[in-house]
Amino acid sequence: MTTASVIGVVFFVGSLFFTAAAGLQLLEAINGDIADLGTGPAGHRPAWRWWAWKPHNAGYLSSLIQFGGTLLFNLNTGDALLAGLGWVEEDVLIWTPDMTGSICFLAASYLALMEISHGWWSFEPRQVTWWVVVINVAGSVAFQVSALYGFFPPPPDAGWTRDANLWTFVGALCFFLASYLMIPELFDADADKSVSLPPRKRFRG
């Protein structure tokens, strides 16, 4: 295998871990009320669910959109392993899911920020949860910039591969740091819980 092929495989395998983590997060958002309710009157927990629709729950919507974004990244990194693609095929099969998945990540991270802020925005630098979400937003912005640079122009233009890789690296660092901060967050008794949003709620900054 060539060096480029090895790098492509590493990206694809990494995207599978992304999807696995996002899937578990979605299941947590779906069944979060079970943990809150505990045992019922008869001493039985509510049934475990693999799917639910909670359009007014910011945490659920964030997890659902992020999961969709990871599936698009699976498609993006998987198609990148295909050989002999022309620049139009590369834009359709590789760049389009990359751009769409990055938009999903950006939307999901901002929904998470709205969830902990109880509005459009908040500034709570003393809260670990706030830092986790804000750094995730920064990582999503970096991924979005990387996707913009990842467009395949027609030949003989070589494109902006170096810039795309740089911003991908910056985004990955942000996500790694946010994941690391989630470890002390687990022991933070003051960490915010998921907030259900009423229909047509107006957010105020």
Domain membership flag for residue 202: no
40 is a domain residue: no
Asked whether residue 130 is domain-assigned, the answer is yes
At residue 35, the pLDDT reads 54
* Top-confidence residue, 197 or 169: 169
| pLDDT tens track for 13-60 | 999 999 999 999 999 999 986 655 555 555 566 788 999 999 989 999
Tokens representing residue 110 in the block? 């901002």
The larger pLDDT score, comparing residue 197 to residue 93, is at 93
Residue 176 belongs to some domain of the structure? yes
pTM above 0.95, yes or no: no
Sign of CA dihedral 70, 3, 90, 170: positive
Domain interval for residue 118: 3-35+51-185
Residue 113: C-alpha distances to residues 59, 90, 157 (Å): 9, 33, 39
Total structural domains within the chain: 1
Amino acid 43: pLDDT:
53
Query: Does 190 map to a domain?
Result: no
Q: Is the pLDDT of residue 160 over 80?
A: yes
Q: Which residue has the higher pLDDT, 197 or 104?
A: 104
Name the most confidently modeled range: 101-105, 155-159, 193-197: 101-105
Residue 89 maps to a domain: yes
User: Considering the domain boundaries, does residue 108 fall inside one?
Assistant: yes
Average pLDDT of the residues of the chain: 85
Q: Is residue 192 part of a domain?
A: no
